[in-house]
Structure 1
Amino acid sequence: MDVPYDLTSYIRVLKLASTPSWEEFSQIAKIAGAGIALVGLLGFIIFAVMTFVPGSKPV
């Protein structure tokens, strides 16, 4: 592991990086929000199914 080489490659990547445009940020935010909503919906569906399963106790 060559530390100076690693640091220079990291610095090179950071110099190439730029802040996203508003459109790109908005698209990423929409996709992330949709993923969070999908996971929440899946959890709610599992909760609803487990509520109606005989022998289970709802929270």
Structure 2
Amino acid sequence: MNIPKNLSSYIRVLKLASTPSTEEFSQVSLVAGAGIVLVGLLGFIIFVFMTILPGGA
């Protein structure tokens, strides 16, 4: 295991990384929030269909 080589590559990546701007952070938050809401809505619709359909059949 070559630890110094791995450590130097980690340091290089950390030097290239930067904090996102406020606009970039809000855009990423909006997209992530929309995805969470969409998946939750889809799960709720499936739940409603699974509870209604067996009762009517």
* Shared fold per TM-score greater than 0.5: yes
Q: How many residues align?
A: 55
Structure 1 length normalisation: TM-score? Answer: 0.85
| Structure 2 residues not aligned, in runs of 5+ | none
Task: For residue 54 of structure 1, report the CA deviation from its aligned partner.
Answer: 2.0
Q: Which contiguous aligned blocks of 4+ residues in structure 1 show a shift greater than 4 angstroms?
A: none
Q: Cα RMSD (Å) of the superposition?
A: 1.0
TM-superposition CA deviations, 1:17-54 (whole Å, max 9, x none): 11000111011000100110011001100111012112
| Structure 1 residues not aligned, in runs of 5+ | none
Percent of counterpart pairs with the same letter?
A: 73
Structure showing greater relative contact order (alpha-carbon pairs closer than 8 Å, 6 or more residues apart): 1
More helix by share: 2
Once residues 53 and 40 of structure 2 are traced to their aligned partners in structure 1, the CA distance between those partners, rounded to angstroms, is 20
